[in-house]
Amino acid sequence: MRLQGRIAMITGAAGPMGEAVAIRFAQEGAAVLLFDISRRRLDEVAARLGRPDRVVAHRGDALLDTDMQAGVQAGVAAFGRLDILINIVGGIVSPRIFTPLVEMTDAQFEATLDLNLKTTFLAARHVVPHMQKHGYGRIVNLGSVSMAGEAGQAEYSAAKAGVAALTRTMAIEFAPEITVNCIAPALIRTRVLQRLDPAMVEHYRTRTLLKRLGEPEDVAAAALFLASDEASFITGAVLPVSGGIWPAL
């Protein structure tokens, strides 16, 4: 029970990775605030967790400051504080997973940066004051091995490199009471696989040293470690959950 008595907010909680994190955290004793834009999927995740006295499901758009503020306030009202923030929201805002840079529109570039970078910023801006008030906090942001650069993903690579840099800045600003770290996954078995050609999925699988795709539970295990007191002397770090692919700039 590594999170016994802790309160965790998870953004993007209704997606496969967010759900895996929520389940693992609840198993480890945490009360959880689930934040996502999908009411239906939020309710499904909350039902799987059980223990309605230890779960709050708040629907909101992570891109809207007012929604993020309302979500944080809902968690504080229910549990009295927030100890842990896991930022899962992110992705590529385009029907195409790969777009050559010269074909990319301003709107696509800006929307993907906002979905990955602005959401991380907004969540921290509203959660951190509550952590500082109680003198304790753990923040885990979701990056990607694509931060090292990926052909056809200029906007996503730039966004995730920004998340890594923002993580480091947050770690510096919020120390010593709050640790801030980043997980950098390779391709994880989520709904994004439905948008990829099978040959491309196989390409990413064989790129890993371990010759498999990542599972949402792999991300959840890393998030659990970084959110626990076992990682109390780790901050400003990027932890690859990537089967051996290294996310170096």
Q: Which residues are catalytic?
A: 156
SS3 readout for 104-145: CCHHHHHHHHHHHHHHHHHHHHHHHHHHHHHCCEEEEEECCH
d(CA 27, CA 62): 25
Closest listed residue to residue 159, CA positions, set 116, 219, 96, 100: 116
d(CA 96, CA 240): 25
CA dihedral over 134, 224, 55, 139, signed as positive or negative = positive
d(CA 246, CA 3): 29
Question: Cis peptide leading into 216, omega within 30 of 0?
Answer: no
